[in-house]
Amino acid sequence: MAQCLQSVQEFIQDAFVPLVAVLCSEEAEKVTRKNELNFEELVRPFCRLTSEVHMRDPNNQIHVIKGLKISINNIVTQPPQPGAIRKRLNDVVSACQPADGLVANVITAGDYDLNISATTPWFEAYRENFFQTTSASDHEFLNHYLACMLVVSSREPEPIEQFLKLSQEQHRIQHSSDYSYPKWFIPNTLKYYVLLHDISEGNEQRVDSVYEEMKQRYGSQGCYLLKINSRTSVKGSEEQIPDPWSQYLHKHSLQNQDSYEDGINALIMNKNAENSFITSLDGLEHIVKDGVPNNFKSHPLQLDNVTDPVGHSDNPEPAKSTGSLQDVKKQNSVTAHGTCLTLNDHDRIRQFIQEFTFRGLVPHIEKTIRQLNDQLVSRKGLSRSLFTATKKWFSGNKVPEKGVNEVKNTAGLLYPPEAPELQIRKMADLCFLVQHYDLAYSCYHTAKKEFLHDQALLYAAGAQEMAAVSAFLQPGAPRSYPAHYMENAIQIYKDCRCMVLAERCTLLSAEILKSQGKYSDAAAILIRMTSEDSDLRSALLLEQAAHCFINMRNPMVRKFAFHMILAGHRFSKAGQRKHALRCYCQAMQVYKGKGWSLAEDHINFTIGRQSFTLRQLDNAVSAFKHILINDSKQPATQQGAFLREYLYVYKSVSQLSPEGPLLQLPLPCINSSATRVFFGHYRRLAEGEKQAATHVSLDQEYDAESSQQWKELEEQGVSVIYKGTLPPNFQTTQYCLNSQTDNSRYSLAVVEEPITVEVIFKNPLKVPLLLTDLSLLWKFMPLDYRDFPNEEKELISNEKDSHAKVPFGNEITGTEVIPEFVINGEEIKPARLKLFPHQTGELHILGVVYNLGTTTANISNAIDGTDPTAGTQAGKFMNNFLSVRGKQDLEIQGPRLNNTKEEKTSVRYGPDHRLDPIITEPMPLLEVFFINFPTGLLCGEIRKAYVEFMNVSKCPLTGLKVISQHPDFFTFGSSTASLTPQSPTASENCSAYKTVVTDSTSTCTALTSLVSPMDFGVDSENPPGVIDVPLPNSELLPGASVQLPLWLRGPDEEGVHEINFLFYYESTEKQSKMSHRVLRHTAVICTSRSLSVRATACRSNALEDEEGSASNMLVFLDVENTNTSEGVREFHIVQVSSGSKCWKLQKCISPLEDKDSKLTSRERAKLCFKASRCRNTETTSCLSEKYVFADLVLGNEQIISATTPCADFFFQNARMLKSKTSPLQANVQTSQTPGKQSVRDSLTLVQQCHEVELNIIVLWKAYVVEDNKQLILEGQLHVTLHSIGKEACSFLQKQESQEMVVLKFIRPEHPPVPPVPSLDQLSHLIKTSLHYPEYFSHPFQEKSLCLVPVDLVLSNCSQADVDVIIDLRHKSTSPEALEVLGSFTWLGKTQHKLQMKGQEVYRLHLKACFIHAGVYNLGTPRIFAKLSNQVTLYETKQNSVPALIIISNI
């Protein structure tokens, strides 16, 4: 139970006090009415004695009474009606509410931190009034009057006669059979005569004489002179006298209940009188209708909407009660009490009560106790039992009398007043009232045994109840508290249907158990007392039980919350809405956020309804809001009911201030972080063969990797404009902002271009929601960026006029309004809302505004378009539905900062400005369309398409560029018109190449041409990925469009390729905020296999060609058809071209009769070509950076490889390979020592002798059957030969992933060795060739030795001086070679030494001597070479083909 202001001992002592009746004359009442009080109310604040009272018990021992309180009441001959009692208790509880500054207990139990009210003053007020209104019973004497005050005014003509009349009236009331109420303790009631004197009006001498006469007649201890009303002039007095009466005056007096009783009686008489009966039990009257007690009228508030014809109610007329309470409050606040009394008068009244108690009441009680004790002892006789003899003497012929209205026959006997059992009960009650608990317990315990023996259960229950209380109150606690006495008494009271007595017993026992820390037992006894006959009582007891659970040593939090819910429900049924709301709010602390969704919904719903009834509209809206936004497990129908309740409450709140700011709506839920913002128009879709650039749209998903690629492309384009650097204020263009983009800076939007905001709505309910007139809320600061500085202007917002359905601010920022937007149950649906800025400045998007309403499935289908004819009807039907207008803010939290140490150790978030764009000046707007753009290509296939550029803005654009990571995929052609074909009809097959028909004789040798890479945009100032678009006059006017040809080449690797095009352009007028704009396009190309080309270069055996030059080599091409698709029938190799600065293909030496090589699937062809260095007239190209193109035609027409598009893709491919592969020559520093520098120079010279840098272009045609039509496709493949003997491929081979190895860190002990030429490089310094006759005849019979002249030709392949040693001694490592080929001898010097200059050719004459005919291999000379500045010799590698000579005998 909650904490109480009184201890349990003080509570019990105040609950049972001696009762004193008051009987006043009319004149006496007039005297007290001057103070707005009657006599009873006048003395009530002074009825507690401040000093101790002493008396002697029957054993003549002094007994001390501390803090004695008496109760003085007017004599009322009619007992209070149960309805009036209930009304008073209901009003008392209703009037007592928690104070605003009430201190709450914070109880921590596990994971719960509960704020619970420390006290429950409404329960204490109920309990106090309950004991005050408890009527007297025949089986006990605690509420019987012990004395009676007779009060007469001194203004009476004959006061003594008036006293006599009052005394006779009291005697008639007590002893006449006409009056059964009130109850009197003993027949000889103490009468105390009080002469009330009004000092302001009375005669002092007369008063004194009258008082002297009273003392002579009644004794000095039986009368008293009370003087009051010392203040004569009340008005104008500045002295403030305290008012001790206000806290004791009841809001509704039970004594003045005539009008109320008339209403109740009339109600009873009109309600089936034959079925109604009144049961009188121990003086308590219970009205029972149809077998249900305490039922008068159905309570007006039924939360469950259940109409019960026989409803239970503790408040018969709540509206009238509320009004009366307010009236009484107003009256009490205005009316002042005791205005004619001074502080001396207060002391006189206090002294009067003390004199009455000391000299009158306490001696009377002491005398009565002695008399009862003497009677009981004298009747004891020789019997050891106190009552055995008395039963024989006084009740020999006593027949047990059954009660007239006995319920279940449990009331037992009805004793006559002079019965000894009742005498001992009287003695026990008197002892209890004067705090003599030891003697009271003995008497109660003895009486209990006798009552149980006689089966007088009701009497026994009363004795057990008070015996248990007396045992608890005994000083020193000589015995334990007998809780079972209380339980038995409660059960008997219930069986006897004495619910008031059972409730009293429960309240006493619960307080006692609580004081002993037995909260569990206290809660159990409180819960057992709850029933359906009184909702108010059940509510208060359940609340106290809940407090018991929370105050246990181990708090039972969930039981506390559950019983708080039950208490709130019963409070609600009793009409106590504020207390019901309080109970539900306290229970909500336990259920909130614990996953008990259904319980949480019920509590919130009840809180919402109670708050709305109490006109606490904000709390009602908040409670209903929680029901809707949480993940509810309620069925759809219940959720719909919750939603309708919320809308009704919300509308009531909004109607209080129609012109005020819009309130926040909880539905639908908005995922603010997922909000996306798109700047610009939606792109037009493809029209026929036109394909629009993909650009950016809200339909695309964000890809961080792709976004980074676009950023790098834009930075690459901007760096070209700014000479390789980025400006400090550079900001990457972002057309679509989301949670993953960089929103730390303010984004830029262009005036007159729409801004689309995608808001993600989520409907957590299972019922559809209808949003009407949905639009964005914004505020705007107009700024003119052309004027510096800007003047501060007024901030403009459309929130002021957001109540209207007509969009506001069209002249500043156009706002799109969506008429109807339906979100089905549990659906996540985006809404795209647009703004159209018409002025430059700063725009801030605040949130969304809409009308929220409910809809049905039929209306939902009509709006979604499932029923196209029902749209208008649905709109009309929706007018009848409840909808409210409100808003929701878009509050986006930025990313968490995690850069510095301070940010890492704290929780800080950066800014997010995606909803705060800056509106800039007008800018050009480009749209791009692709015509005949393919989606599938063969690897290396060439296709011609067209691209259309259109300026749809009112500003001209310039500086158009295309930036791509794959510049080798497309080309706009050469900047030289003569190198770009005019149309695709220049050949017989509508080829994309520039072709020339050739005859059969012109294909023997290569056709050469000389071009510069500058003509094709290579080696320009732009990096490889930045390509200028050749616009006419480099400008595109507003509304103008232009079409340009675009050649495409399929990537060399098969698969699906995403190729990004970034179109960069600027305005002709420089802007302060936005310098450029970009347009994105992603082309998806699917490539399939075509041909695979592998090339190898080797030195030719012939040291000299037709022109006498020794610089030639052989090029071998291995071509394979790797395509396996059925549509591709065959490939034709129509031409092989070369492009290089120093080398060219000279002729084809393949032995194939068919020049046009045809390859079907998986076929391979081997082609051999002779390559030579360029002529003297062409060698200048090495210095002029021009390329020599040589075309070897294998078909009927020549493709001029030095023109677009062949040369474009050739140069782009070479440029891309150069950027991907590292150069062969090492990048060394020139600041070296002379020795090291010579070594590096030698390395360079050796490397150069192996470099070729010959680019091969293989042009092919493919015959494809598609849709029963034969198509001829064409393409080109590139192979770059870097060095002799190293194979090159037409595509970069994927490197195999190396196995992971343990990384070791080794510290070198010696400095790194400078790089030196490798053995393989040095072995190819010298190229050799033997010149000799293949057949030689000699007459060995005539001459035994045969001498054959042989020339050894040596060629220095490098530019350095080389020392050469020629060793002619035989050294054969293969014995089989000697057996097969035989041996011979070189004549002359066996070793020759010579030094050869760079590129020098030296001829050495030798003679070979043979002694037998046969076949000999002359390739036995060993050639050693070294650079002139080196020491180590290296043997050169010679041709593996043997130099055979046949010697025959003549």
Q: Residue 40 — left, alpha, or beta (φ > 0 → left; ψ -120 to 50 → alpha)?
A: alpha
pLDDT category, 251, cuts 50, 70, 90? very low
**Top-confidence residue, 137 or 1248:** 137
DSSP tag of 1302: -
Per-residue pLDDT band at 1306 (split at 50, 70, 90): low
What are 522's two structure tokens?
A: 């206290």
Burial of residue 603 (CB within 10 Å: 0-12, 13-18, 19+) is buried
User: Bigger pLDDT: 74 or 109?
Assistant: 74
The overall average pLDDT reported for the chain is 79
The single-letter code of the amino acid at 1039 is: G
Q: What is the pLDDT of residue 1376?
A: 52
| 185 Cβ contact list (under 8 Å, min separation 6) | 141, 144, 145, 146, 368, 426, 430
Average pLDDT of the residues in 336-349: 87
Q: CA 281 to CA 284: how far, in whole Å?
A: 5
Nearby residues of 1288 by Cβ (< 8 Å), 6 or more positions away: 1094, 1095, 1096, 1279, 1280, 1281, 1282
Q: What six digits make up the tokens of 317? A: 């007329």
| Residues 686, 927: Cα–Cα separation, whole Å | 12
**Which of 169-173, 403-407, 1436-1440 has the lowest average pLDDT?**
403-407
Examine the pLDDT at 1276 and tell me if it is beyond 90. yes
- Higher-confidence residue of 803 and 1291: namely 1291
What is the DSSP pairing of strand 223-228 with strand 190-198?
parallel
What's the pLDDT score for residue 1184? 60
Judged by average pLDDT, the poorest of 65-69, 328-332, 639-643, 984-988 is 984-988
Of the candidate ranges 137-151, 250-264, 965-979, 1049-1063, the one whose mean pLDDT is the lowest: 250-264
- At 1129 the pLDDT is 85
Residue 1311 has pLDDT above 70, yes or no: no
In angstroms, the CA 693 to CA 886 distance is 40
Kindly tell me if the per-residue pLDDT of 391 is higher than 70. Answer: no
Q: pLDDT by residue (tens digit) across 516-527?
A: 999 999 999 999
Q: Which of 1253, 1277, 1248 is nearest to 1167 (CA)?
A: 1277
Report how far residue 85's alpha carbon sits from residue 93's, in angstroms, rounded to the nearest whole number: 12
Q: How many CB atoms lie within 10 A of CB 258?
A: 9
Res 1422 pLDDT > 80: yes
Instruction: Specify the 3-state DSSP secondary structure of 1351.
Output: strand
Specify the higher pLDDT residue, 1238 or 544: 544
Predicted pLDDT of residue 1369: 82
Q: Is the predicted pLDDT of residue 1248 greater than 80, yes or no? A: no
pLDDT band at 1153 (very low <50, low <70, confident <90, very high): low
Cβ of 292: how many Cβ atoms within 10 Å? 13
Of 475-489, 533-547, 1216-1230, minimum mean pLDDT range:
1216-1230
Residue 442 is predicted with a pLDDT of 92
Report cis status (omega within 30 of 0) of the bond before 182: yes
Q: What's the whole-number mean pLDDT along residues 1379-1393?
A: 79
pLDDT of the residue at 293: 32
Determine the average pLDDT of the residues in 1414-1434: 83
Least confident interval from 367-381, 785-799, 1012-1026, 1339-1353 = 785-799
Report the distance separating Cα 312 and Cα 292, nearest Å.
9
pLDDT tier for residue 798 given thresholds of 50, 70 and 90:
confident
Segment 1166-1189 mean pLDDT: 72
CA–CA dist 924, 1334 (Å, integer) = 80
Specify burial of residue 124 (Cβ count, 10 A radius: 0-12, 13-18, 19+): middle
- According to the model, what pLDDT value does residue 512 have? 93
Give the model confidence (pLDDT) of 596-652 as tens digits.
888 888 888 888 888 888 888 888 888 888 887 777 788 888 888 888 888 888 888
> Which distant-in-sequence residues (6+ apart) come within 8 Å of 33 by Cβ?
none
End-to-end CA distance of the chain: 142
What digits encode the pLDDT tens for the residues 900-916? Answer: 888 888 888 888 999 99
What is d(CA 1101, CA 255) in angstroms, rounded to the nearest whole number?
A: 141
For position 700, what pLDDT does the model report? Answer: 84
Residue 948: pLDDT over 80: yes
CB of 1224 within 8 A of CB of 1236? no
Rounded CA gap, 1437 and 1319, in Å?
10
